[in-house]
Every structure is written in structure tokens, then in C-alpha cells.
Amino acid sequence: MSSDQPIVIKKVKKGGGHGHHGGAWKVAYADFVTAMMAFFLMMWLINNTEPEQRQGIADYFAPASVSRTTSGSGGVLGGTSFGDDGARGSGSSSVVERLAPRSEQDVSREQEADEASGAAGGQPQASTDALASALARREAAEFASAEQSLRQALQDMPELAELSRHVLIEETPEGLRIQLIDQEGRPMFEPGAIEPNSRARVLLRTISEIVLRLPNRITLSGHTDASPAPVGGPSNWELSSARANAALNIMANAGVPDHRIAEVRGKAGAEPLFPDDPYLPGNRRLSITLLREAPAIPPGHSL
């Protein structure tokens, strides 16, 4: 061989390598991301649900909710049916029924059944408690209806809409209290006057319409601020009492009968609405309270 012949080096590239692995990794990564999203969604749901709701979800997926029946061949292929509390039975019915609100008819039927069983079993105390509870619920519903009716009347009538700022309605241990409150520059009574002004008269007549829908007796109280009475004028006690009586006369003319009145009193500045500043105009007010008690018996009626 001649020494002048060139040397050729041939590189052979072996096949079979999988450097990039194609696109399979994308599919695996997408599955991983989907699984993680489902996991975090599940953790969020668990953190934002009540124990009863979590129990319902658990019952939905619980294998125990599938019960065997006598249908089918009775063997391996004997067949199954969904239990009463299973996933397809009623959607975790025990949880749903426990959380679902009961209708008024259901409550009434249960109360009647309880009272009947108490009477049959010689349990007068249970029957009395059930009656007292039913009366309390009815009274609460009536108070709520009266409050809603008064607020609706103030909104519906243009001449009353601006007067809504003078009205404060709240439930107290004594009953449903409606207060007509002075605003700065817009009093219910002129300074030193006994008779209410036109705004107060409109409000008193509107309140009388609401009062007439309920059987409860009412009390009327007049209140002043802590400012001393002018020299030669009536005292704050006399002024607050006279204003309460003037409000009573307006309500009586609107149809409120005498037997519905439990008490008319003047409180002067003894019970300020704003104790931190007893001189504020808001302390001057009329207070009308529907009492929490058995309705009064009208004259000429007996038990």
C-alpha cells in the first residue's frame, strides 16, 4: 500500500436513540396538572362546607350506600339496588331532610300531635309549654308584620318618605316599640308646645292603622331632653305628660279604642335615647309600645 494514500475516518451514527421522547411527556404532565387541580378543588370544597354537607358528600360516594336485594339470580350476578340513603336513593336523604326547612303546615301538625299526645298521656305541663311556644311564635310573626307594614307605608307615600328618618322601630323585652324622634331643625313638637305638628300627626295616624291590626295593648310615653324648662312655663314632666296625652287623642280619633290603652306617661328627660348627650334633639320623642301580654278583653265581653 502506498504511503501517499489518504486515511478516511468514517463515523457511523447509531440509531434507536430517543433524546426527545416525542410528545408523550406533555400528556403525562397534563394528567398531572388535572389531578392536582382536582385535588386542590376538593380541599377547597372541604374547607368551605359544613359538617352535614361533608357527610352528605361522603354518603354519596360511600360503597356502603349500595345494598343487596332479593332481585336477580341471587348469585354473583344477583344484582343490587341503591339503599334509602345511597347515592341514587335520595341523594343522602337523611342529611337533606335534616337540613331542609319545614313548612308551616308540618310544624302545625307536629304541634297538634304533641299537644294531643300530652293530653292523652296526662302531661298538662308539656301541653302548656307547647301552647306558650306557639303563642310566642305567633306574636313574633305579628310584630314583624307590623314593622314591615309601617316601613312599607312610609316608603309608598311620598308625603311620608321623608318622615322615615323620624321613626325608630325595635323589639324590646317589653314589646314592639315605635318611637317618633325629633331631628335637628325638624321637631315633632314646636318648642314648648303641647300639640304635635302636622308631621307628627301624619305619623301618629299611620301608626294607629298598624296598631289596629293587632290585639295588643299599648303604652304611650312622652320624653324631653335635659334642657331646663323656661321660666314660667310647664316643667319637663308636665310637658312630656301633656304631649303623650295629645298623641293619645290623635290615636283615639284614628280609631284606637280606650281598652287598648295600658298606660300614658311622661318621662321628662329621665330616659334619654342618647345618654352620652342628654341635650340632643333625638332625646325629644314619643314612644308607642305594643306590649307582650295577653290581649285585653273589650268591655261587655267575658271569658
pLDDT surpassing 90 at residue 256: yes
For domain 142-291, give the fold: 60s Ribosomal Protein L30; Chain: A; (3.30.1330)
> At residue 259, what is the residue type?
H
2 CB contacts (<8 Å, ≥6 apart)? none
Please tell me whether residue 101 adopts helix, strand or coil conformation: coil
Of 92, 73, 74, nearest to 82 (Cα)?
Answer: 92
pLDDT above 90 coverage of the chain, percent: 22
SS3 88: coil
Residue 45 has pLDDT above 70, yes or no: yes
**Amino acid in the structure at residue 272:** P
Length of the chain: 303
Number of C-beta neighbours around residue 242 at 10 A:
17
Residue 37: exposure state from Cβ atoms within 10 A (0-12, 13-18, ≥19):
exposed
pLDDT given for residue 63 in this prediction: 55
Kindly report the backbone phi and psi dihedral angles of residue 78, in degrees, each rounded to the nearest multiple of 5, phi listed first: -65, -20
185: three-class secondary structure by DSSP = coil
Grid cell 341503591 is found at 82
Looking only at Cα atoms, what is the longest distance across the chain? 149
Strand partners, 81: 67
Tens digit of each residue's pLDDT (9 = 90 or more) over 174-216: 888 889 898 888 888 888 889 999 888 988 988 888 888 888 8
- Residue extents of the structural domains in the chain: 142-291
The span from the first CA to the last CA of the chain, in angstroms, equals 143
Going by C-alpha positions, the residue among 194, 150, 140, 200 that lies closest to residue 171 is: 140
Query: 286 forms bridges with which residues in the sheet?
Result: 180, 222
DSSP 230-292: PTTS--HHHHHHHHHHHHHHHHHHTT--GGGEEEEEE-TTSS-SSTT-TTSGGGSEEEEEEES
- Evaluate if residue 221 carries a pLDDT over 90: yes
Torsional class of 252: left (φ above 0), alpha (ψ -120 to 50), beta (otherwise): alpha
pTM of the model: 0.51
Q: Where are the alpha helices (DSSP H) in 18-157?
A: 24-47, 51-61, 93-99, 104-120, 124-156
pLDDT in tens, 135-172: 677 767 776 777 676 666 666 666 666 677 788 888 88
pLDDT of residue 96: 39
CB 244 within 8 A of CB 221: yes
CB of 204 within 8 A of CB of 254?
yes
